[in-house]
Amino acid sequence: MPSFLKKSSSKGGNGEFWKILVVDDEPDVHAITSVVARDIEFEGKKVKLYSAFSSEEARRILQEVPDIALAIIDVVMEKDMAGLELVRYIREELKNPYIRLVIRTGQPGSAPPREIVLKYDINDYREKAELSSNGLFTMIIARLREYRDIVELETQKRLLERSSFYSSVVLNSDIQDFEETLTEALDSFSNILGLTVKVEKLGEIKEDKFNESLPSVNLSWREDKSVEFSLREEINLSERIKVEFSKPLTLHQLEIISIFLERYLVTVNNYVLSKDLIETLYKVIYIISEVTETRSLETGEHVRRVGRLAKLLASKFGYEGEFLEFFEIAAMLHDVGKIGIPDAILNKPGKLSDEEFKIMKRHTTIGYEILSTVDHPLFKLAANIALYHHENWDGTGYPKGLKEEQIPLEGRIVSIIDVYDALFSDRVYRPAWSEDNVIRYIKENCGKKFDPRVCEVFFENYEEIRIIYGFKK
């Protein structure tokens, strides 16, 4: 058989083709189709024909050649219904919903068109006699247009799925290397699009002070294949990034990737801002707490350790994410109310009198009054901790004498941590205790001063606590 009947060799302007499979046992049909297809160019790509003279030969081509856009199939070949069996094979065994299938027959009586169209997943039915040169040209262009659209829709669907996945990854996890995650997402997009992508750093953008005008979410596209933007790394530092695809994107592909990039950059921007604010707030609260503790001749490290231990125990009770960050900061403010207690009482070396102890107990309500003035979840949490961290499980604590579950969990958690840390420190009224004595005291007061469940979690995780304190094994 002449080689031109097997496949055409004409190339499109960009080296790509629309692949068409002709399945027919008549050589003349292949010759006519080849002549018509030779002059077809659709969206910058020419047509490449693959010829099969039986359904078995067609099956081999379908297994070996990817991305065939159109198959023009004769019904009667080696068997009366060989073409229709091939259709079923393509749709059901190869599970290929994209290739456009056209049944072409010279014996319409053996394959009634209405019955065939209803029973088989085909896209067109033509009698050979009606496919003139113009008719064949029109049919091929129409089917290629369908194939282009369905493949584009599937591509958009996959892009949206990956875009949603990577957006959720950023929103729901504590990613540290946003640039690496972005590159991974772009590689995934390029695989879907069947092209390559190059990510290039163009240099850093620095600001001496915070500037909301940093171009962190502005996309600059060039020729539908290259985009530049700034990825914020720190509050005053961004990295200029250039992403270049190996070929232009379609309008919808560009829109999907643009939406993803904009959301990604906004998420990163918000993360950096939020992280900076939390770190700044942490430092401010540490300074405030340290000043408060210094008034009572105690070290500011006490509040830092209480915060770290509170975060650890809260995580064991199922708290996570932003709440844990809040919990650590809020716990550091547990004694902020001491700012309203006179130095003579705070620093008295001996036992307090009943009247002095009554004044000392007011630090819980003073702290609550200070912190509850701020309408923010962190300060509401801090206000509760300040108010309730001296309540006892058996109801003997202060300021309200609450017992058991009446005491908010955050107060019960900080209660045991505050006592544990305080007993390790020298105070004006007593020296520091040994670890054995501290542990003995905590165990003796489980179910009395401390919530039994909080005690249980405390000791279940005691090795982690010891690591925080730098204790040797």
Active site residues: 338
CA distance 229 to 260: 13
How many angstroms separate the Cα of 296 from the Cα of each of 171, 302, 423? 42, 12, 15
Residue 287: Cβ-neighbour burial (10 angstroms; 0-12, 13-18, 19+): exposed
Tell me 130's DSSP state: G
- Angle separating helix axes 435-444 and 452-460, nearest 10 degrees: 150
For residue 333, give both structure tokens. 């403010």
Neighbours of 49 (CB within 10 A): 25
Helix, strand, or coil (residue 220): strand
Longest CA span, the chain? 114
Count of helix runs (H) and strand runs (E) in the chain: 17, 10
Alpha-carbon torsion 143, 145, 150, 151, what sign?
Answer: positive
Helix, strand, or coil (residue 112): coil
How many angstroms separate the Cα of 130 from the Cα of each of 104, 125, 126? 10, 11, 7
- What are the backbone angles phi and psi of residue 214, rounded to the nearest 5°? -55, 130
How many angstroms separate the Cα of 459 from the Cα of each of 264, 385, 452, 472? 41, 21, 11, 17
Q: Which of 25, 26, 32 is nearest to 4 (CA)?
A: 32
Q: Which of 119, 44, 132 is nearest to 87 (CA)?
A: 119
Q: What is the enclosing helix (H) or strand (E) of 377?
A: helix 377-388
Helix, strand, or coil (residue 157): helix
Q: What is the DSSP string of 301-320?
A: HHHHHHHHHHHHHHHHTT--
Query: Is the peptide bond preceding residue 399 cis, with omega within 30 degrees of 0?
Result: yes
Query: Hey, what amino acid is at 398?
Result: Y
For residue 402, give both structure tokens. 């609450």
Q: Cα torsion for 51, 54, 60, 66, to the nearest 10°?
A: 40
Beta bridge partners of 68: 19
Q: Which of 272, 195, 180, 186 is nearest to 227 (CA)?
A: 186
